[in-house]
Amino acid sequence: MTKLLSTLGNRVSSFDNSVWQAVFGLKGEIPGTSLGWNLYGSYGKSQFVNTMTGDISLAAITNVLNGTANYSGPAGTCRGFAWNPLGLEELSPACKEYAGRTNRSINDQSQTTIEATVQGPLFALPAGDLSFAIGADYRETSFNYNPDSTLRTNDSISYGFVSAASGTQKVKEVFGEVLVPILKDTPFFQELTVNAGYRFSDYSLFGGQHTYKADLTWRPVEPLFLRGSYSVAIRAPSLGNLFGPTSVAQLPIGTGPNAGDPCAVGSVYRTGANSSQVQALCLAQGIPAAIYPTYTYGISTVPGQDGSNPNLTPERATTYSFGGVLTPRFGSALFHKLSLSVDYYNIKIKDAIGSLLLSDILPRCFNSDGASNPGFSPNNDYCRRIFRDPLTGQISLGQQGLFNFATYTVAGIDTQFNWGFGLDAIGMSPSAGALEFNVTASYLHTYKVAGLLGSPTFNYAGSAGFGGVGGGISHPKWKINTRVTYSNDGLSLSLLWRHISPMVHSDRLANAASTTPGVPAYNYIDLNADFDIDKKFSLGFGVSNLTDKVPPFISASPLTTDAATYDVIGRSFYVSIKAKF
């Protein structure tokens, strides 16, 4: 096989992406009113071409090996037993021409958008104008993926089977928003304002969806500004999630007694306390009653399908937050530029889209965790993805891929502190320049994830290693960035300290006795300098990760680390030139 795959050289993929877009817009005012209107439209199209060289036609190379090849072309002839795979000869140029393939797959996507809005003050209130905005829009998105015929017909040795795919989604929306100033310039209510919005979206694939928000801002005294918000939002599945190409292949399910087909003789499922319920479920799925007592399945894979899912529904998020900004105005020049903001947030997402493997789906159909299918119902969400041959009882198709199985809750506190002053405030010359301190701190209190139906929920805040539904590998409780900047007459020098708190490995959440190592605290130092050459041009240079700190090892994670959280490049330098026109 190695000789066969290498005979046509390396398998190389190249990509060509083209994008076109046209945009128009009109705006104006409604005569006799203070209202304005906007009309906006756009059309965009992209084409993604993937060319794959070095592939081999399964049918053609089979003809060569069977001695049935009968090809004549520019490179010569390839007939009969034209190649001995056990010999030292290479495939002849004519047989390479006959059996070799260059695959070209094309993905076309387009989007049309039209939106119209009317906005402005509606009428005056004692605290100011009540303003509104209303509008409607229409969006249509489509894509068409056309894989090369070698891939569509499962004739590729190197790349396997890939199905063609296409889909269209249309959305009609109406929306409105209102800004209501309630109080102003009264004791303990320097400002009190409510902002509310509503949107109805009619999806051609999901039907009507309601989303809304409400924000409250309150300034009791001049230095203190308080705010809070509540919203319900959705994220519709993309066309790729819904209609993207699927592949058919042998999918792993493991082997008995603890894995493999739960219905097979010797499986722990057949001998446990729920053996009678397991038998009933196996029979309901299609295993003949006469076969069940001796039914065996001795290999570790089954025919399966992987990829998109046209039955996905929108994810739904509920979010609330509250916090405030303190900007005291002390008479001292040293503390005149001082501000502090603190905000708490809580986000809960239901029906989150994530990928599930068949090796996760199959055991949960048989209630492996005690919660996924306690009634052993063949109509359970996991069981509906398992299909059996009614004659043999074997799994004829198992479906893995994308599903709306997950929920997760994220909560924490974001804080920002700013302080700046001229050095003359501490007794130095007015020409000595200025210092500025900026600190942003994020505290993650909750990152609860339930990745599967009925699975236990863990709080991954302060842990690393989880890469399932909910996103991300590392979830440090603290991330703090502290910047100190000195500026003077067109010159700016800054030092940034990035701190990431230590984390335990996520294995310890499910098993307190786990010895999988976590991650220590990490600190990075970045330096930056900018200098104004004149009024139009400035020169900048800097270094990131000054100490060239290597990323930590995170067990069982892709690339053995987390490139989204840690610096995987090492020390790097950059130079920039900026121009103002």
Contacts of 108 (CB under 8 A, 6+ apart): 45, 46, 47, 48, 143, 144, 145, 146
Got the DSSP string for 402-456?
A: EEEEEEEEEEEEEEEEEEEEEGGGGTS-GGG-EEEEEEEEEEEEEEEEE-STTPP
- Give the integer Cα–Cα distance in Å for 268 and 287: 18
Instruction: Give yes or no for a contact between 122 and 98, defined as CB atoms under 8 angstroms apart.
Output: no
Instruction: Give yes or no for a contact between 365 and 386, defined as CB atoms under 8 angstroms apart.
Output: yes
- Give the integer Cα–Cα distance in Å for 426 and 191: 35
Q: Strand 165-186 to strand 76-80: parallel, antiparallel, or no bridges (unpaired)? A: unpaired
Adjacent-strand bridge partners of 55: 101
Adjacent-strand bridge partners of 70: 79
- Give the integer Cα–Cα distance in Å for 52 and 159: 9
Q: Give, for 179, the enclosing helix (H) or strand (E).
A: strand 165-186
pLDDT of residue 534: 85
Q: Give, for 153, the enclosing helix (H) or strand (E).
A: none
Q: Give, for 110, the enclosing helix (H) or strand (E).
A: strand 100-125
pLDDT of residue 3: 53
Read off the pTM.
0.81
Residues 180-199: pLDDT tens digits?
Answer: 999 999 999 999 999 999 99
pLDDT of residue 311: 85
Helix (H, G, I), strand (E, B) or coil at 382: coil
Residues of the chain with pLDDT under 50: none
- Would you say how long the chain is, in residues? 581
Adjacent-strand bridge partners of 312: none
Instruction: Give yes or no for a contact between 513 and 505, defined as CB atoms under 8 angstroms apart.
Output: no
Residues 349-373: pLDDT tens digits?
Answer: 999 888 888 988 899 899 887 878 9
- Give the integer Cα–Cα distance in Å for 305 and 163: 11
Instruction: Give yes or no for a contact between 485 and 493, defined as CB atoms under 8 angstroms apart.
Output: yes
Query: Quick one: DSSP state of residue 275?
Result: H
Q: What angle do CA 244, 302, 152 make, to 5 degrees?
A: 35
Q: Strand 395-422 to strand 301-307: parallel, antiparallel, or no bridges (unpaired)? A: parallel
Instruction: Give yes or no for a contact between 453 and 372, defined as CB atoms under 8 angstroms apart.
Output: yes
- Give the integer Cα–Cα distance in Å for 339 and 416: 8
pLDDT of residue 317: 97
- Give the integer Cα–Cα distance in Å for 393 and 166: 33
pLDDT of residue 454: 60
- Give the integer Cα–Cα distance in Å for 372 and 364: 6
Look at the block and give the residue holding tokens 């998109």. Answer: 308
Helix (H, G, I), strand (E, B) or coil at 2: helix
What would the 3-class secondary structure string for 52-93 be? Answer: EEEEEEHHHHHHHHHCCEEEEECCEEEEECCCCCCCCCCCCH
Neighbours of 123 (CB within 10 A): 8
